[in-house]
């Protein structure tokens, strides 16, 4: 693929702008400056720098982000900064989208991609991708309340009771709740239905993929092959 097309595909601007960057000597490919916009390169395992910043070629973007509180999962925010401000500009230019929004006060694992099929598979209710939330409750939670969550609680505007796939008690006020749906304020509404309240909420796992302990709040990284395998359906 021509170098100017590579840079354009990776979110570095229009072909004209990418061509100018190349002419100005701002691009190195595999460690060498390239000033020819029409130079052809194989994209497999391609490494390059833009103004000294290192990048690897990715045909599609698959990312994870440790979402902080007080950020909105939207390109057009109302009251708080957008999570996309935590990403490098070229990734935003690729029109990446978060997969399943978290409320502004909810933290934890969120997936981001520009692959429409991947986004659909991970977000479609019919695929029932399980998600685990760490829930800190306002009041101590007992076995009877957990049993109610597992059996199903009736929510306003829902025809049938909604049940968690699993609910593990971690401490007096902390539970790990596993859900397959992504209904509006679902965890908060389920806790309210058992006369309790969510004090803090953090998504810690999607499918088999856990939020890495070394991924700090506000940080992001590419999903590797092992990560993607953990997101595939398991029978």
Q: Using DSSP, state whether 189 is helix, strand or coil.
A: helix
Q: Of 36, 56, 95, 103, which one is the catalytic site residue?
A: 103
- Compute the distance between CA of residue 121 and CA of residue 232 in angstroms, rounded to an integer: 9
Question: Do residues 75 and 84 touch, judged by C-beta distance below 8 A?
Answer: yes
SS3 193: helix
**Max CA distance (Å), the chain:** 69
Active site (annotated) includes residue 36:
no
Secondary structure of residue 224 in the 3-state scheme: coil
Q: Is 175 exposed, middle or buried (0-12, 13-18, 19+ CB in 10 A)?
A: buried
Residues 180 and 129: beta-carbon distance below 8 Å:
yes
Distance between CA atoms of 145 and 70, rounded to whole angstroms? Answer: 29
Position of tokens 């691009």?
Answer: 27
Say how far apart CA 223 and CA 34 lie, in whole Å: 29
Which residues are designated catalytic? 103
């Amino acid at each position: 693929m021509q170098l100017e097309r590579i840079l354009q595909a990776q979110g570095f601007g229009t072909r004209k702008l990418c061509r100018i960057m190349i002419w100005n000597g701002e691009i190195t490919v595999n460690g060498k400056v390239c000033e020819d916009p029409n130079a052809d390169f194989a994209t497999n395992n391609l490494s390059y720098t833009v103004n000294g910043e290192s990048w690897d070629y990715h045909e599609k973007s698959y990312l994870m982000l440790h979402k902080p509180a007080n950020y909105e999962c939207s390109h057009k925010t109302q009251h708080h900064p957008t999570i996309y401000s935590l990403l490098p500009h070229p990734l935003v230019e690729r029109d990446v989208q978060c997969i399943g929004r978290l409320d502004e006060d909810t933290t934890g694992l969120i997936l981001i991609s520009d692959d429409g099929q991947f986004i659909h598979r991970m977000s479609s209710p019919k695929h029932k991708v399980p998600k685990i939330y760490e829930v800190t409750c306002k009041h101590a939670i007992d076995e009877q309340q957990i049993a109610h969550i597992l059996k199903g609680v009736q929510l306003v505007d829902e025809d049938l009771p909604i049940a968690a796939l699993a609910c593990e008690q971690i401490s007096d006020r902390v539970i790990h709740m596993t859900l397959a749906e992504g209904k509006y304020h679902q965890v908060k509404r389920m806790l309210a239905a058992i006369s309790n309240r969510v004090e803090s909420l953090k998504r810690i796992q999607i499918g088999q993929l856990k939020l890495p302990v070394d991924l700090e709040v506000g940080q992001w990284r590419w999903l590797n092959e092992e990560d993607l395998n953990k997101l595939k359906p398991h029978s």
